[in-house]
Amino acid sequence: MSNYYGGITGYGKAVPERVVTNEELASKIDTSDQWITERTGIKQRRVVGDHEQCSQLATDSARKAMERAGVSADEIDLIIVATSSPDFLTPPVSSMVQHNLGAKCGAFTMVVGCTGFVSALITADLYMKTGQYRNIIVVGVEVITRMVDWEDRNTCVLFGDGAASVVVSRKKEPCGVLSHMMGSDGSGAELLILPSGGTKVPPSHESLDSGQNYLKMNGREVFKFATKVMGQSIEKVLEDSGLSKDDIDLYIPHQANARIIEFAIKTADLPADRVYINVHKYGNTSAASIPIALCEAFDEGRVKMGDKMVFVAFGAGLTWAACTLQLPE
Ligand code: UT7
């Protein structure tokens, strides 16, 4: 490995205009603001309109991140888009983003459920350590509400749409990902699945009639899995980095459910005032949740350059990933 590092130098988010509150959902299906708030902490979510697409939200957020980093399209050497809800199964949405940005570089999409952004950031960091890349754009984006059955209260109240990007730039001073871990357990594939639309169950009248084109989730089992891996993953990356819990300025967990985050705070004994939560505003935006939270943490002054952070995510697969990282000075 050469002595290069990848530091986050820009960030930007793009979320749909439309806000859907718990009250609005409760006026349409058998749920209530009280149930959603008590069980998840969610108060509202953003939902795309017909004019908003995955590629466009990703592009808008990337443009903002580039502007903040002071990086032009010809200075980008790679684009990694983490999403499970691209415009099309093929072509990859990452190439659509590359074209929209006017970049002349490689691009690929990573499909790792809600773990996507952390996996993509770890990947970008490893590319950076080769010293061959000047700037890499990492995007987390989802238009997951188009995969949801709006009559299924088990899922539709949980999810929201959005995008956020970071620019990771080549640095000579130590920064970037300090330690990381990734996990996968495909035995839990059925716990969070979109049964139709891939090649195993291609769309058909039959699959549509039986609702196989909608996201299915075993909430209780995913909850159990999430609470198990969150604390363990945080402990592991802290240990590998040699940092203590108090060395970390901000923890950003995947924003799926405030109760899962509170559980992780308890089991891993984290300082609650340094754990970022914004699930009440956006619901679960899957691969976009951690970068959206990062953007808001920057804007609110909860993090600043030079700070040390922990990201931890879990989701479909089942998958999980975590990293410690340091922002460049
Ligand atoms: O990004 C990773 C993906 N997903 C997650 O992280 C989700 C993980 N799981 C969860 O967050 C929670 O399991 C949920 C929020 C999905 C559900 O909370 P829960 O406390 O585990 O509730 P439950 O599934 O055990 O359901 C309790 C009751 C059920 O009624 P009965 O069977 O006790 O009569 C449900 O039918 O709540 C009912 N219920 C609802 N009631 C009102 C389920 N959804 C709703 C709803 N409104 N939206």
Q: What is the pLDDT of residue 1?
A: 54
Q: What is the pLDDT of residue 210?
A: 95
CA 245 / ligand 1 centre spacing (Å): 31
* Residue 69 pLDDT greater than 70, yes or no: yes
Assess whether 24 and 64 both reside in one domain: yes
236 three-class SS? helix
Q: What is the pLDDT of residue 51?
A: 95
Assess whether 144 and 49 both reside in one domain: yes
Verify whether ligand 1 is closer than 6 Å to residue 166 (CB atom): no
Kindly name the residue from 22, 135, 278, 284 that is annotated as catalytic. 284
Q: E strands of the chain, at which residues?
A: 5-14, 18-21, 44-47, 78-82, 106-110, 135-142, 162-171, 176-184, 192-193, 216-217, 250-253, 308-315, 319-326
pLDDT digit string, tens, across residues 76-134: 999 999 999 999 999 999 999 999 999 999 999 999 999 999 999 999 999 999 999 99
Total residue count of the chain as it appears in this document: 329
Assess whether 193 and 144 both reside in one domain: no
Assess whether 43 and 85 both reside in one domain: yes
Q: Is this structure's pTM higher than 0.95?
A: yes
pLDDT digit string, tens, across residues 149-192: 999 999 999 999 999 999 999 999 999 999 999 999 999 999 99
Residue of 43, 220, 320 best suited for mutating to test ligand 1, as the one with most atoms within 8 Å of CB: 220
Verify whether ligand 1 is closer than 6 Å to residue 154 (CB atom): yes
Assess whether 206 and 161 both reside in one domain: no
CATH number at 272 reads: 3.40.47.10
Domain that holds residue 203: 178-326
pLDDT digit string, tens, across residues 251-302: 999 999 999 999 999 999 999 999 999 999 999 999 999 999 999 999 999 9
Q: Catalytic site residue 254?
A: yes
Kindly name the residue from 114, 156, 175, 295 that is annotated as catalytic. 114
Return d(Cα 252, Cα 49) in angstroms, integer. 28
Count the helices and strands in the chain (H runs, E runs): 11, 13
Verify whether ligand 1 is closer than 6 Å to residue 150 (CB atom): no
pLDDT digit string, tens, across residues 32-54: 999 999 999 999 999 999 999 99
Choose the final residue of a domain: 142, 173, 204: 173
Q: Which residues contact 99 (CB under 8 A, 6 or more apart)?
A: none
Return d(Cα 44, Cα 300) in angstroms, integer. 20
CB contact at 8 A, 47 and 57: no
Assess whether 215 and 317 both reside in one domain: yes
Assess whether 187 and 316 both reside in one domain: yes
Choose the final residue of a domain: 120, 150, 173: 173
Verify whether ligand 1 is closer than 6 Å to residue 72 (CB atom): no
Return d(Cα 282, Cα 46) in angstroms, integer. 6
CA 46 / ligand 1 centre spacing (Å): 20
Q: Catalytic site residue 180?
A: no
Assess whether 53 and 104 both reside in one domain: yes
Assess whether 159 and 120 both reside in one domain: yes
Choose the final residue of a domain: 132, 154, 173: 173
Assess whether 111 and 25 both reside in one domain: yes
Assess whether 136 and 223 both reside in one domain: no
Q: Catalytic site residue 156?
A: no
Q: What is the pLDDT of residue 278?
A: 98
The domain total for the chain is 2
Assess whether 240 and 146 both reside in one domain: no
